[in-house]
């Protein structure tokens, strides 16, 4: 029988660049890893593809429709009580209007300033890899910038 120590949860993360910055969001205080920052995404449901999982999670959490691009990194990370099998994809926003349904704050960060934020362990590993890039990829977004930056009630 598998124990929790043998279980890895498949999760996805969206790396959303825009004008030399990347989107990060802060977890709510009452959830696991409360108030730490992350690249948004979430658990892959049984039978769901990685790409469909990421589209669903971003829609549910941020009210955005996204295009899932290429895989940036696949990282396995063990926390004390759980394992994370993370797939981080480059994404671009196709539409929607930002809302924070699962987060308490967001920030468009330059790669060089990401170290100032407290991240979950697996997202911190992504931060280190992002900082090794000469620059963030250009975004192919064709939406009104107000859809990206302003939330609605």
The neighbour count for residue 91, using CB atoms within 10 Å, is 29
Q: Are 34 and 40 in contact (CB under 8 A)?
A: no
CA atoms within 13 A on the CB side of 141: 24
Q: Is the pLDDT of residue 148 over 70?
A: no
Distances (CA, A) of 127 to 94, 97, 113: 24, 26, 10
pLDDT, tens only, 1-38: 344 556 889 999 999 998 889 999 999 988 888 799 99
DSSP conformation letters of 15-32 = E-EETTEEEEEEPPTTST
CA distance 134 to 153: 37
Tokens of 139: 């975004």
Quick one: fold of 4-149?
Nucleoside Triphosphate Pyrophosphohydrolase (3.90.79)
Maximum Cα interatomic distance, the chain, rounded to a whole number of Å:
51
Residue-level pLDDT at 50: 97
CA distance 41 to 51: 11
pLDDT, tens only, 40-88: 999 999 999 999 999 999 999 999 999 999 999 999 988 777 889 999 9
Where do the structural domains in the chain lie, given as residue ranges?
4-149
Q: Is the pLDDT of residue 152 over 70?
A: no
The whole-number average pLDDT for the span 88-115 is 93
């Amino acid at each position: 029988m598998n124990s929790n120590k043998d279980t890895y949860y498949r999760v996805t993360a969206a790396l959303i660049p825009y004008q030399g910055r990347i989107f990060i969001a802060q977890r709510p205080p009452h959830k696991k890893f409360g108030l730490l920052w992350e690249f948004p995404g979430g658990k892959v449901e049984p039978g769901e593809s990685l790409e469909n999982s990421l589209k669903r999670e971003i829609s549910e959490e941020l009210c955005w429709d996204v295009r899932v691009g290429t895989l940036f990194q696949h990282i396995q990370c063990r926390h004390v009580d759980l394992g994370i099998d993370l797939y981080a994809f480059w994404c671009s926003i196709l539409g929607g209007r930002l809302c924070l349904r699962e987060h308490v704050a967001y920030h468009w960060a330059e790669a060089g300033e990401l170290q100032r934020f407290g991240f979950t362990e697996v997202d911190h590993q992504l931060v280190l890899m992002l900082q090794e890039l000469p620059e963030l990829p250009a975004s192919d977004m064709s939406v009104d910038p107000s859809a990206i930056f302003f939330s609605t009630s």
